[in-house]
Amino acid sequence: MTIRTWSSAALALAAVLTLSACGSKSAAPPGPGDVFGDAINPGIDYQPFAGSDMTAQSIDSSASHSGSASFRVLVPASGYVGGAFVSATARDLSPFNAVTFWVKASKAATLNVAGLGVDNTPSTPFKTERAAIPVTAAWTKVVIPIPLPAKLTAEKGLFHFAEGSDEGAYTLWFDDIRYEALPAAEIGAPAPAIATETRPLDIGATLQVNGASVTYPTPGAGATISAGNRFFTWASSAAAATVDQDGVVAGVSVGSAAITAKLGTVDATGTTTVNVAAAQAPAVAAPAPTLPAADVISLFSNAYTNVPVGTWSASWDLADVTDVQVAGDDVKKYTNLIFAGIDFTGTPIDASAMTHFHVDVWSPNATKFGVKLVNFGATTTEHIVAWNAGTTPPFVQGAWMSLDVPLADFTGMTFEALGQIILVDNGDAGVPGDEAGTFFIDNVYFHK
């Protein structure tokens, strides 16, 4: 499982990076689709993502694809760098069919993602990304097609990128970032798709269809890109479930429904089948913690004062989380959990004096569960501890499991700058396959 360790939208708005000292106004009047030429164009701010290296970006007058400057990014040895070019006012991008840019690097590497539709707010209905972009020491043009340009009539998220430290420290340069109306032959006919999977859904609950993507036959167009769900038109085959413009499915009555989609007039391959059933929930609350507050760092519990958490379901995961009560106790309910990112990189936790991680979990339908801790210290370290039918203790349905895990079980880790807890219900939990189960989570804390 590949987990992105940045948040592009779900966290609070990141600070705007001021580059005026380097000339953040273009010398020549920009065209309507221009984002960056020799500088960031007027009316656009560069906003680093929360938790990223805020000082890694600058205007470089010693390197350029054309003109006299480029946008330089220092990829760190640990953590990540990334951000979005955001327009102050919504722009009509419908005349264009692609955003393009030129990029080079100080060494051959693979840029994690670049795309459009992210404006550092929680709403990213048109978020579109190309992943695993090869970069070399030579300037190379990259094309990211817009899946259905007619939909982009009011967009602020013009361009974004993110790159992790998995390839070590190096330098990236971006230049000539702009929207273009490319010849149709340069992009090719789109082949849209959604995930083919079967997922459980409670009456009254919702889930979002996964895997919206578009494949293009032209290599220069990047083969396959992930696409925002609102580019598609969605349909449900039965009254058991409805689906809205964002591909969010709501359970209405007991039964099954097939969710399908179109991109314009083109049918998307793939069908998501939802099996709707009556909601199941624990009848009693999880056991109340009894440890002294002085020995606990709590993220979520009614028994303690909790430290700040940026998000309980990061923008890069597929899960849905709601706040519910069980027998008067506050609980996090996760549905469609394949993996869910609890992200607090903005306020990291020093748990080096703690000895254990604790979480209470209850599931009506899952057969496995795992917890990954991620530490963003001098080097990034992470490890998963998981439970299934064959572990000690075994994972069980329909009962609260109080999991108290020695931090020593998270092998190879340090704990001085914890920034993420990732809950998993897929192959990383020790059994192949993705279950997308439902979980009630309570009493998430570290203790000694």
Q: Is residue 287 within 8 Å of residue 402, measured between CB atoms? A: yes
Nearest to 250 by CA among 238, 262, 263, 261: 238
Mean pLDDT, rounded, of the chain: 90
Q: What share of the chain is helix, strand, coil (3-state, %, to 5)?
A: 5, 45, 50
* Mean local confidence (pLDDT), 285-304: 98
Please report the pLDDT score of residue 220 as a whole number. 55
Q: Is residue 219 within 8 Å of residue 130, measured between CB atoms? A: no
What do you get for the CA distance between the two ends of the chain, in Å?
30
Return the SS3 of 264.
coil
Residue 89's contacts (CB-CB under 8 Å, 6 or more residues apart) are: 43, 156
Nearest to 181 by CA among 146, 215, 140, 151: 146
Asked if residue 1 has pLDDT above 70, the reply is: no
Please report the pLDDT score of residue 29 as a whole number. 55
Return the SS3 of 304.
coil
The domain 191-277: what is its CATH number? Answer: 2.60.40.1080
Asked if residue 242 has pLDDT above 70, the reply is: yes
Q: Which residue has the tokens 């293009």?
A: 216
**What is the domain partition of the chain in residue ranges?**
20-182, 191-277, 293-447
User: Which tokens sit at 427?
Assistant: 């192959």
* Mean local confidence (pLDDT), 19-37: 61
Please report the pLDDT score of residue 296 as a whole number. 98
Q: Is residue 271 within 8 Å of residue 260, measured between CB atoms? A: yes
* Mean local confidence (pLDDT), 262-266: 97
User: Which tokens sit at 130?
Assistant: 């190309």
Q: How far apart are CA 68 and CA 180, in angstroms?
A: 21
User: pLDDT tens, 357-380?
Assistant: 999 999 998 999 999 999 998 888
Please report the pLDDT score of residue 2 as a whole number. 32
User: pLDDT tens, 369-412?
Assistant: 999 999 998 888 999 999 999 999 999 999 999 999 999 999 99
Residue 410 CB neighbours (<10 A):
21
CATH number 2.60.40.420 given to 293-447: no
* Beta bridge mates, 269: 193
| Burial 337-354, CB ≥16 within 10 A → b, else e | bbbbbbbbbbebbebeeb
Please report the pLDDT score of residue 10 as a whole number. 30
Nearest to 200 by CA among 242, 269, 249: 249
DSSP-assigned letter for residue 27? S
* Mean local confidence (pLDDT), 289-318: 94
Domain 20-182 identical in fold to domain 191-277: no
Asked if residue 110 has pLDDT above 80, the reply is: yes
Asked if residue 222 has pLDDT above 70, the reply is: no
User: pLDDT tens, 271-284?
Assistant: 999 999 888 899 99
User: pLDDT tens, 42-94?
Assistant: 999 999 987 788 889 999 999 999 999 999 999 998 888 999 999 999 999 99
Asked if residue 21 has pLDDT above 70, the reply is: no
C-alpha distances in Å from residue 61, one per residue of 175, 187, 309 = 11, 32, 39
Q: Is residue 103 within 8 Å of residue 172, measured between CB atoms? A: yes
Q: Please, which pLDDT band fits residue 219 given cuts at 50, 70 and 90?
A: low
The domain 20-182: what is its CATH number? Answer: 2.60.120.430
